[in-house]
Structure 1
Amino acid sequence: MIESGYQIRSARIEELPLLAPIERAAAVLFLDTRYAFLVNAEPLPLDFVQQQFRLGLVWVAVDLHQTVVGHAIAREVDETLYLQQIDVAPEHGRKGIGSALVNAICDRATHLGYRIVSLSTFRDIPWNAPFYAKLGFCPVSEAELTTGFQQIRFKEVEAGLPISDRVIMYRVL
């Protein structure tokens, strides 16, 4: 449940440059994990974010003053709506914003005719796979991965992510 004072809505074009700083701030949560190297990872390129924006696949969480405090970006992968990125500014965490962003994506996916929302995440980080499992996402075995998800795996390896610690998850709508 999202606390009062926050709202989830489609992003506005002028808000897109605000998303990378939130992504960087949220990465700080990895400092005390074995994935601390993610703190220095580059955020999603603005041109990609703009492309997804034009497709109506970028959402923001805003506070009472319409200040962006979180965001989610999706794209299509193998006939699913894939959650590419979701971040909440740490000072606004644990208030239901992440769950509300995921639910907004699921609602939009249903509206667009998708039957599945998918994502790739870390198995053992509490705000990763366990969080998504509480929202109805289930792991998919590596043997079941389609071509698009195998490409995601390849890009994760290129980025230095330990694939044995990652899991693809689906939520059937």
Structure 2
Amino acid sequence: MPAHIRLALPDDAHLLPRIERSAAQAFRSIDEMEWLADAATMAVDRHRQLIARSTCWVAVDADARPTGFLSAERHGSDLHIYELSVRQSVQGQGWGRKLVETAMEYARLNQLASVTLTTFTHVPWNAPFYRRLGFEHRAGETLDKRLAEILAQEYACGFAPDSRCAMSWRVPRVP
């Protein structure tokens, strides 16, 4: 069976923190961010919640083993991406892009307004990656209260000022 994307299953939940930890090893290449390689991962119980809501997808390899995931949740008319992680050994093969495109398609099919997220502003595989997929920065008047609160919480956890940003992708309206 070739590699593909599918909805995450309850039995996948305990595998996802290990994938997130592997993905985070890429931060070791950035001096001021290397601590993220050892930072806490999303809890298994939180993964289970998002899996139950059918807003968590996994990239699986030819042996049906998860190698990446995207965990999101609906907030009103938005789908918010909380975590996108791809095992370090398969990074750069397009699985992150395919996972994000799957979330974008979910938003389209469910007639949502946008897909949102917060991410690192200057890390190449963060904001620049999302920008290439059509996401735009949200700041000032375009930053809604929910995203502003998420950013405030992230800064309260110790992220450097202006290191994070909110982004969104507007779901195209079909006439």
Establish whether TM, by shorter chain, passes 0.5.
Answer: yes
1:117 paired residue number: 115
The separation in 2 between residues aligned to 1:66 and 1:142, in whole angstroms, is 43
The separation in 2 between residues aligned to 1:115 and 1:88, in whole angstroms, is 26
**Offset of residue 151 of structure 1:** 1.6
The number of aligned residues is: 170
**Offset of residue 143 of structure 1:** 4.2
TM-score by length of 1: 0.93
Which letter maps to 2:20? Answer: E
**Offset of residue 166 of structure 1:** 1.0
**Offset of residue 123 of structure 1:** 1.2
Equivalent residues in 2 for 1:141-160 (5 A)?
Answer: 141-160=139-158
* Aligned counterpart in structure 1 of residue 21 of structure 2, from 21, 24, 41: 24
Query: Which of 79-88 and 152-161 deviates more?
Result: 152-161
**Offset of residue 78 of structure 1:** 5.3
Structure 2: gaps spanning 5 or more residues: none
SS in 2 for 1:65: coil
Equivalent residues in 2 for 1:1-173 (5 A)?
Answer: 5-33=2-30, 34-77=32-75, 79-173=77-171
Deviation track 1:66-122 (CA, whole Å, cap 9, x = no partner) reads 011000000134531111100000111111100000000011111222120011111
SS in 1 for 2:146: helix
The separation in 2 between residues aligned to 1:6 and 1:75, in whole angstroms, is 24
Is the CA contact 1:78–1:146 (under 8 Å) kept in the aligned structure 2?
no
Deviation track 1:27-83 (CA, whole Å, cap 9, x = no partner) reads 110012121111121111122111111110110000111011000000134531111
The separation in 2 between residues aligned to 1:163 and 1:59, in whole angstroms, is 31
Q: What fraction of aligned residue pairs are identical, expressed as a percent?
A: 29
Which 4+ residue blocks in structure 1 deviate beyond 4 angstroms? none
Is the CA contact 2:69–2:86 (under 8 Å) kept in the aligned structure 1?
yes
Query: In angstroms, what is the RMSD of aligned CA positions?
Result: 1.5
SS in 2 for 1:164: coil
